[in-house]
A and B are shown apart, each in its own frame.
Chain A
Amino acid sequence: MDRRLLLKQAAALAGFALQPLKAMSSPLISPNPRILVVFELSGGNDGLNTIVPYKNDEYYKLRPTIALPKSKLLEIDDEWGMNPGFAGMKQIWDRGDLAIIHGCGYERPSYSHFTSMAYWHTAAPNSGDPYGWCGRTADALAPHGPENYIININSSQSLAVQSKYHTPIVFDDPSEFRKIIRSEQLSAIPDIKKNNAQKNASLDFLHDIEKSAKASSLRVRKAWENYDSAVDYGALSSQLDKVAACIAAGFPTQIYYVAFRNNAFDTHVHQVNLHQRLLTYAADAVRGFLADMERLGMADNVSLMMFSEFGRRAGENANLGTDHGSANNMFLAGKSVKGGHYGKAPNLLDLDDTDNLKFTTDFRRVYATAIEGWLESKKAEHILKGKFQSFPIFT
């Protein structure tokens, strides 16, 4: 905060009038400024202990030590209660801005983090598709640009945003997104040569990235320097504050992708306290982000999707934790979202032969909902390589 304040003061001293962010950014906003933010909870979030069926005796039988008693839950109706860590999401639910989609998964589930995450990223199980579903969405919606259409805030790029026509901007610390050059070197910086006589594909790739870095780094840095928000994102913003900074700066970006780091939700052992804390971080960040959108006057333009590569085993394991599972809930949040329950919760009495929940909703239906209902594209079938029925969440 101090740093940003200093920068602002420096800018003011230098004679730049600090205009309200909205006014400054509005000319840059594209005609269809609907923005989708995807928030990945990596590691396999335990959906059963996130949205808890507290009326269901079977839940307590499956999880004799780690089940959450009703007294601890944040009740949202007479069937479901939220994990106490989900207090931030509860506020969104209470405003009617949160859709919970139950039982999301796919046929013959993989219990491998990497394989399952790749399925979710490509939206094409077992296909080995080289492009991600966000990347293909960008390719279908805007095959000819604009530049900076996809932003992935992370230390490495996600497969989900891999695109045929777009080079996603990928960064995690805006202040380090700057090439240090000494003044005397400026005249001598070599041009990026595209005449690659040796047909070295790796070199072509590096040249493309270098070009993108040059084009985007200054804009991102300026956006972050100018961003000044009093909104509280909790202990870990999970980069959603940086998404807000880019939105505030009027980036033409329609798809933002952020992730919770390091497989954090992989709670095999002693999970109850840890899981609650992780959910607190995630929920506080989402609540803060939506409040920030409200502050920026962008609440009608932004929706957020939250998912995990799988849920966890219905029954607890011997180590006060849970092993990799299958069906899980997904979330869509935002002012344009019609809050409530969607899809059908898996039956806890009807597990599959690996003691896992049977999925009831193909996860691509939720992607289709975002593509058709939110981004208003008719190309969902093409993008998702199949017909998946949308939910009436954005009507």
Chain B
Amino acid sequence: MPRLKYSFLDLRAKTSANLCKACLGALIIFLGAINQGIALERLAAEDWDTRNATHLLERTGFGATPEDIKNLSQLSLEDAVNLVVDGPKIRTKNFNSFVHSGVFDIGLDPFPPSRPATTNLAEKTGEALGIKVRPDGNRPLQPIVDKFFYWLRASRLETDRVTQWWGQRMLVSDYPLQEKMALFWHGHFATNEDKVRDYRKMLQQLELFHAEGLGDFRTLMIAVSQNPAMLMFLDAGVNIKSAPNENFAREIVEIFTMGVGHYTEHDVREAARTFTGWNFKGLSFEVNASEHDNGNKTFLGHSGNLNGVDVIDIILQQKVTSEFIAGKIYRFLASQELTNELKEELGIALKSKNYQLKPFLKDILSSQQFYSDKVVATRIKSPVELVVSTYRKLGLENLPGAPDFNYTTGRLGQRLMHPPTVAGWSYGKSWITPSLIIQRSNFIHAVLFPDIAFIPWDRYPDGDTNYNILSVHKKIKEGLTITDATKTNVDYGEAALSNQPDRNEEFNTRFGSYRGWQMAIERVKPIERDLPEVNLTDMVLNSGALNTKETVTYLVDRFLSVPLDLSTQKSLSDFLEKEIGTQQISQVAGSLEYPLRLVLHLILSLPEYQLG
């Protein structure tokens, strides 16, 4: 765009005044026409091929099998992009809704912000979390403290079940872009269960991303700003007329819509006033009218008795907002490399579609830029993408329970429902460190060579991080009193304060934490711990590969997005030959599985496999 503007100015300077008037109108129309085309040039229909179909599936979903690729490449570019963005007309995969374990009860809502707040409430009112304080006896508040810790644990475990359910959707969905965009918005509108402390709100937010993630950004933005998980996460519930809390307003302008540098501190304060009184009750949005500030506010130059929706509409009028959102979507789906020119053009495109995401995505996904060498196979897969696409490319139908999905993705840096900060995850190079590249390889090992010592880490406390709970458990069973069982017997020496047991006789927090764990694992349904159902023998034999060389070529093509040099391929096929004792694989079909896994592990441990 700027380039065109300059040429327009040059032209005008060179043109005489009377000619200019006549030309100007035509020129503007002409420039407008260019403008439509220049933002994103459409890929020529004849350039639509297997390579590009693979790329489209890789980026809009979670990897693809050769069958998926073949089916898509047989459509026209337009039909393929429509199918990917709109989803199939008839959905062949019907997802069951999430099955709740039934861990919630009404006494848990509202959940006080901390254990001290809970016990203070109980002391003041005689009741908390739906439980009355015992009239007499030792530790009259204990059941309340137990229940506090129960919910912390139960909500966390149930959230793990929600993400397991989501991972399963990613794996088998026939509309993967819906899941991919839900993942994008979860990183964009990041909330963390650690603070929200209610799996129901996290699930509700995920359902919102599934429903509106490909719709209209205005609808989505308003829904998010009225979403209980978000309101809880950004302390909006305490944003009241007499004392506006800026956290919510700041994140809306800084992280959700415009980015730093396009508003003043004064705008943040004024925006905070427009959101005063916005709150939630249970899973519903509520405006507490008496806490809403109805005074005059000025935000980005607009004045009046503005409310939160007005502020969002003002934000959406800003040029920088459409650029910010469009640019971020482009970086997520296409490339981290984004010039200012392209960002500006993408912003214009999104705005011209009135923030409708589907037509905007179709523009990107049909463009030459999207299929250029600078974009194809240059994107580092995020941990969730790595894990799910590995399963998908292996042809699995069930998300395995071992290795554990949440633990694995968390160790690799992307635990769903637990983004590191309000800014979500930084994509790209930040996924990779020397340690993480090793752990990615070790994940592949765990898939191909199941860990027979696997213990469901969520239910059974391990000794390293849950030392106290295990020690209390052991001592209670040995017959010690609660006081003695919860005394620390480790000499912590001088580093004292954090290790003092709670000596309040009204309750015992260590016992509560132990008891809460027990109650939680009783009620939260366990995640099924089935192993990956891998069958490389069938996969390879069905591919038509006859010898070790063709086998390696097939595996490389199926799993890698970048070509692998021939000498490496040769050494891999030599290795396979050595392991199976022949070049002809059909001769040894019955003993092929283990050697194939050794080879595939080597291939998927390559730096090349990190790219998609």
Contact = CB atoms under 8 A, between A and B. Distances in A.
A234 interface: yes
B439 interface: yes
A205 B429 contact: yes
Interface stretch (A94-102, A183-191, A383-391): A183-191
Interface residues of A, number: 74
B114 A273 contact: yes
B432 A206 contact: yes
A284 to B, nearest CB: 4
Nearest to A85: B497
Contacts of B442: 176, 178-180
Contact of A167 (B413, B423, B434, B445): B434
Interface in A201-218: 201-203, 205-207, 209-210, 212-213, 216-217
B434 A213 contact: yes
Contacts of B441: 179-180
B496 interface: yes
A269 interface: yes
B607 A207 contact: yes
B380 A323 contact: no
A278 to B, nearest CB: 10
Contacts of B411: 176
Contacts of B409: none
B562 interface: yes
A233 interface: yes
A84 interface: yes
A182 B598 contact: yes
B602 A156 contact: no
Interface string B94-117: 000000000000000000011011
A184 B595 CA distance: 10
A202 B611 contact: yes
Given A157-B430, A170-B433, A185-B602, A235 B260 contact: no
Contact of A217 (B378, B434, B499, B575): B434
B72 interface: no
Given A190-B606, A202-B379, A206-B432, A234 B247 contact: no
A263 B250 CA distance: 16
A336 B550 CA distance: 65
A270 B235 contact: no
A172 interface: yes
B571 A190 contact: yes
Nearest to B254: A112
B55 to A, nearest CB: 14
B489 to A, nearest CB: 14
Given A202-B611, A207-B607, A213 B378 contact: no
A107 to B, nearest CB: 14
Interface in A19-52: none
A205 B379 CA distance: 12
B80 interface: no
A277 interface: yes
Contacts of A200: 377-378, 562, 611
A87 B497 contact: yes
A65 interface: no
B437 interface: yes
A209 B434 contact: yes
B136 interface: no
Contacts of B125: none
B495 A318 contact: no
Given A262-B420, A284-B495, A209 B437 contact: yes
B245 A187 contact: no
A288 interface: yes
B275 to A, nearest CB: 14
B492 A232 contact: yes
Contacts of B10: none
Given A200-B562, A207-B607, A319-B245, A188 B575 contact: yes
A113 B423 CA distance: 9
A307 interface: no
Contacts of B194: 262
A155 interface: yes
A203 B435 contact: no
Interface in B574-593: 574-575, 579
Interface string B285-305: 000000000000000000000
Interface in A254-279: 262-263, 268-270, 273-274, 276-277
Contact of A179 (B438, B494, B568, B611): B438
A206 B607 contact: yes
B421 interface: yes
Contact of B435 (A207, A213, A318, A319): A213
Residue of B117, B240, B492, B497 with most partner-chain A CB within 10 A: B497
B433 A323 contact: no
A190 B575 CA distance: 11
Interface string A60-87: 0000000000000000000000001101
Nearest to A169: B434
Interface in B457-502: 492-499
Contact of B498 (A176, A269, A281, A318): A281
Contact of A216 (B434, B494, B565): B434
Given A157-B430, A176-B411, A198-B562, A203 B607 contact: yes
A277 B117 contact: no
B373 interface: yes
Contacts of B250: 111-112, 324
A195 interface: yes
Nearest to A114: B423
B568 A269 contact: no
B610 interface: yes
Given A112-B254, A202-B380, A234 B495 contact: yes
Interface of A: 84-85, 87-88, 91, 110-115, 155-157, 167, 169-173, 176-180, 182, 184-185, 187-193, 195, 198, 200-203, 205-207, 209-210, 212-213, 216-217, 232-235, 262-263, 268-270, 273-274, 276-277, 280-281, 284, 287-288, 317-319, 323-324, 354
Q: Which 7 A-B pairs have the closest CB atoms?
A: A318-B243, A170-B433, A171-B435, A206-B607, A213-B434, A188-B575, A284-B495
Interface of B: 113-114, 116-117, 194, 235, 238, 240, 242-243, 245-247, 250, 254-255, 260, 265, 268, 373, 377-380, 411, 413, 420-423, 429-439, 441-442, 445, 449, 492-499, 562-563, 565, 568, 571-572, 574-575, 579, 598-599, 601-602, 605-608, 610-611
22 contacts: A85-B497, A111-B246, A111-B250, A113-B422, A156-B413, A167-B434, A171-B434, A184-B579, A188-B602, A190-B602, A203-B378, A206-B380, A206-B608, A217-B435, A263-B421, A270-B113, A270-B117, A274-B114, A318-B238, A318-B245, A319-B245, A323-B247
Given A115-B254, A268-B247, A319-B245, 16 more contacts: A111-B250, A114-B254, A157-B430, A170-B435, A176-B439, A179-B442, A182-B449, A182-B601, A185-B601, A189-B602, A190-B568, A206-B437, A206-B608, A217-B435, A323-B246, A324-B246
